[in-house]
A and B are shown apart, each in its own frame.
Chain A
Amino acid sequence: MKILRPLIPLTVILILYFALKEGVPYLGSQLHEGTWPVIPTSVMKMYVFFIAVGVLLIFTFTDDGFKANIGPFAEIYLNPDRKIIRFVSAVLVGCFGAWVSYQYVKPTFDAPVELRSIHPAPPSNAKMWGKTYSIGTLKNPLREDKENFAANVKAGGEVYYKNCFYCHGDRMLGKGPFWDGFTPVPANFVDIGTIAQLSESFVFWRIGTGGPGLPSEATPWLSAMPVWHEFLSEEEVWKVILFLYDYTGHSPRVIEPHH
């Protein structure tokens, strides 16, 4: 049974591998449903390499350990009486190599990667409602109107629920009834990665000119975001912006003055 001794470190490596690959995401999914990331393959490969080296080091650290674990290899390859086991080992190692190389050469039919800049730099000027707006200096005219603030927010809510909820969702989570029909999927306004990062002028530009208004690094041909200046008035857009920030509790980013 000495010959089986090297299986112990191998087994330990395998167990650690599965703990990493399956265990960690599983644990994560229990703690935080849907948000736990899977470990990327490249990082997995690195971890597994370190684990393998570490385990082998531990098992061959002492002289005895070294002999016990390496000895059987010498036995297989050097003892003339071990013909059968040598043959089996040669086949197994060969098959493993073939399998690994197959994983590399087998054809994959994954879709081409489409890189898309989510928040591209806006143009300095944008045309909407037959006028030209300078995006850098634009301010929400309704924000200062403290007196009518609540009424404006409510009016913005009505704009939202007549025009936006079926994509961006009744809960603002980007999951309206038709969200899964569009790639890229509609923006999630509760998430800190969207309006929370943006200035009101940027959001105004995005709503006014929609998907087709994006520069080419943001793949305007893919976005289902409609061109709202064709449907809404300028005031309605400012109102819906008030509503978006009010409902989600985010504050718009304040633009630093240009130098």
Chain B
Amino acid sequence: MTVMEIKSFSSSFVKGVVLAVATVALVGGSAFSAAGNVENGAKVYMKKCWWCHGEEGEADGPAAEFMMPPPRDFSAGVYKYKTSPPDAEIPRDEDLFVMISNGMPGTSMPSWKEVLSEQERWDLVAYIKTFTDMFEDMDNPPALSLAGKIPSTPDSITKGAKAYEAGKCFECHGERGKGNTQKKLKEGSGAKLWPRNLTKQWTFRAGTTPENLFARVTNGIPNTPMPAFAAETTANGKLSVEDRWHVVNYVMSLADPTNQVSQGQIVIKGVQRPAIPADEKDAVWDGVEATTFRLAPQIIQKERFFTPANDLISVKAVFTDKDIAFLLQWDDRTQSIPGEEKSGTLAWGPLGHDAVAIQTPVTPSGSSEKPYFGHGDGKNPVSMLYWKSQSATDPAGSMLMTATGNHKREMGDAESIGFTTSSSYEFGTWKVMMKRSLVSPNTEKDTQFVVGKYIPVAFANWDGSNGEAGSKHTMTTWYWLLLKPAPSNDVVVIPAMIFALLFFGQYAFSRFAGDKKNKA
């Protein structure tokens, strides 16, 4: 209710007056929700919300089956993100208002503040409360106490790390917070649920301030396995108020600002090195800039896939005068090993391999015509470097392919380009290195990597424990790869010449003008 409200205040006076009224009412506590008009809320709901949440609020709208997490079932009256005290059964009206206004990043629930007025959003709060009798005869609960907040210090973060262990957060969120869970988790409804990757805080649903996170740890996330740590009853034990603030500081310290899309970066810059790195863990990779892209599910061609788990892929490239190597890195909550028992217990749907592929046009042609991003087309084929993880019986494998359209693939001669891969899965992160020669003897079916030329490139990724196989996977559309040429001498020579010209020019001027003046 702060920064954003202040902005809207300055943007329009009328809104400002509404806001002032709202603020006064909020301070007055539960009184305000009465101001929400149920009838008007119903009208807005039937225009904007029922498509997902259902006509009767039962989460069975036409869109519901195409998303993970599924929409909230208002008829059950259980809300995930509440800031009421742990013993209150219901959320505060303000919680519903904030979720409607801000939306929930990482889900299909959009933010409505851009399209609905403040009043309309309060009307909706009043309306969605009528889908259940949970709110009847209940006063709006007070806000959870935030007393005892501890500022983030190295000491507090260390204590937080201990609390993270004591509360067994790692069992679900992984030792380093990547969400690489040890157990299969479900929504209350039984639907597929993956725990949050705590390093990607842009996916947090209900805010990323210490206060937001304190409320999460205190109240847990109702209707999911995420426990309420204020309560004695959970298997994970209780955390004291102090420990909860420490663990909040620890969670905040896990935020990895590089673990998100490289804004505005659409060119992977390959750099020249004397030798190709030995494997995916070689220290050479540390000095190479990564470009990170958003993965979207394949929802374009048959068979489509709507509930992805992986959302990012990060890419580095290194080349020598003979070879090129890519380092592909992505957070994946599960190492999917078909045939292995442990992997089997975590998987949703048939357990497949984890896999990744790089796609480039066979004939890259700068900014003009490209192959269709989905496996090329009859006129413009694409070449693909594909890697898949090990199974219980087979080691990891790789393939070179050429495609001329969806499901029109043929195998290439991987040996002719010296295609090799190496890979490892640690703490919830896959690293896969792919190496091949810059040029290929098969110019009809395979890409030639030319230094200094912009080469279109796209990626695909499979999470075998998330029901992904075949055309059901995540992907990107076309981006660019540039193997950066050695800098030309001009970069030094031209500025140096300009410097000399101006420097001596001024002396020449002063002598010339001085002579003239003396003569005069």
Which chain A residues have a beta carbon within 8 Å of chain B's beta carbons? 30-33, 77-78, 80, 86, 89-91, 93-102, 104-107, 109-114, 157-158, 160-162, 165-167, 169-171, 173, 175-178, 180-183, 211-212, 216, 219-222, 224, 226, 230-231, 247
Contact = CB atoms under 8 A, between A and B. Distances in A.
B293 to A, nearest CB: 8
Interface in B109-163: 110, 112, 114-115
Contact of B506 (A93, A102, A111): A93
24 contacts: A30-B10, A33-B7, A90-B502, A97-B498, A97-B501, A105-B491, A107-B484, A107-B487, A112-B480, A113-B367, A157-B62, A171-B114, A173-B114, A180-B261, A181-B294, A212-B372, A216-B369, A219-B370, A221-B369, A221-B373, A221-B377, A221-B380, A224-B300, A226-B300
B373 A90 contact: no
B297 interface: yes
Interface of B: 7, 10-11, 47-48, 51-52, 61-63, 66-67, 107-108, 110, 112, 114-115, 261, 266-267, 269, 294-297, 299-302, 306, 366-367, 369-373, 377, 380, 454, 475-480, 482, 484-485, 487-488, 490-491, 494-496, 498-503, 506-507, 509-510, 513-514, 517
A6 B294 CA distance: 52
Top 3 A-B pairs, shortest CB-CB distance: A181-B296, A161-B63, A112-B367
B43 to A, nearest CB: 14
Given A102-B495, A111-B480, A181-B294, A226 B301 contact: yes
A247 B300 CA distance: 24
B62 A158 contact: yes
Contacts of A86: 506-507, 510
Nearest to B369: A216
B338 to A, nearest CB: 27
Given A157-B51, A170-B52, A222-B477, A114 B367 contact: yes
Nearest to B61: A161
B431 to A, nearest CB: 22
A166 B66 contact: yes
Contacts of A107: 484-485, 487-488, 491
A221 B110 contact: no
B497 to A, nearest CB: 8
Given A78-B513, A78-B514, A105-B494, A110 B302 contact: no
B494 A101 contact: yes
